[in-house]
Amino acid sequence: MQPDLWVFGYGSLMWNPGFAYEQAVAAQLTGYHRAFCVYSVFYRGTPRRPGLVLGLDHGGVCQGMAFRVAGQHAVTTMRYLRAREQVTGVYRETLVPISLQGAERRQVRALAFVIERRHPGYTQPLTLAHQADLIRAASGRAGSNLDYALNTICHLQQMDCTEPNLSRLVPKLGPVFWQRKFGCDLPARAGSGQALTKQLRGAPVKAPRLRPDQRKRFVYRDRLALGLEARWQNAR
CB-based contact 6:64 (threshold 8 Å): no
3-state secondary structure of 147: helix
CB-based contact 98:91 (threshold 8 Å): no
Those residues whose C-beta lies under 8 Å from the C-beta of residue 221, and which sit 6 or more positions away, are 89, 92
Q: Is 116 a catalytic residue?
A: no
- The single-letter DSSP state of residue 3 is P
DSSP secondary structure of 174-219? -HHHHHHTT-TTS-TTSSHHHHHHHHS-----PPP---HHHHHHHG
Which of the residues 22, 85, 163, 229 is marked catalytic? 85
- Enzyme catalytic residues: 85
